[in-house]
Amino acid sequence: MRLFAAVLPPDEVLDELERAIAPHVGQVPELRWPDRATWHVTLAFFGEVPERALPDLRARLARAAGRHPVPALAFTGFGAFSSVRRARVFWAGLSGDSMVRLVDSVRAAGRRAGAANIDEKRFHPHLTLARAKAETDLRPLVDSLAGFTGSTWRAETIRLFMSEPGPRVRYESLDEWALAPASPG
């Protein structure tokens, strides 16, 4: 099974993003815009995980979630990987409370449960909005969206997803765990 852990922004926050990008969808022919139902913020991509490792992974993710407080986040600005000038991925950036320790714990849970292909790149909090098969200059698109800041929201849970690749990628939520309550103040 191809698995990953992610947080899902609330619908009203995704509505804001959708309204911001709506005038631009289809304006860059090279970009493919996946269905909004697939939008998420990846914490860790585990790759292929044997089914026998799933119970241990679930237990470890539950423990990891319980050790980290709910972060306050907001979508702020847009960008691209590998660069705006030579992009293959167009994304909305996230600002707010750091999620680096949560990501480290989620990745460690995957390693300890036997996920051998964890993506260990430096965590850059974002939500992927579109992809291109070839490098594309997205400077005009990113510039036209400069200054966007969405509403603050709280990522209260993490989810484990199974990814089913194909012409239309499909994600199935396998489980969900609450993060620790945010500290008052």
Which residue of the set 24, 40, 68, 124 is catalytic? 40
68 among known catalytic residues: no
DSSP 180: B
Alpha-carbon separation of residue 175 from 7, 64, 69, 86 (angstroms):
12, 14, 19, 36
Q: Smallest Cα–Cα separation from 114: which of 174, 42, 55, 178? A: 55
Q: Across the beta sheet with 170-178, what order do the strands follow?
A: 41-48, 2-7, 157-164, 170-178
Catalytic-labelled residue, pool 24, 68, 124, 126: 126
Neighbours of 126 (CB within 10 A): 20
124 classed as catalytic: no
Which pair of structure tokens corresponds to residue 21? Answer: 């990008």
Q: What residues are labeled active site?
A: 40, 126
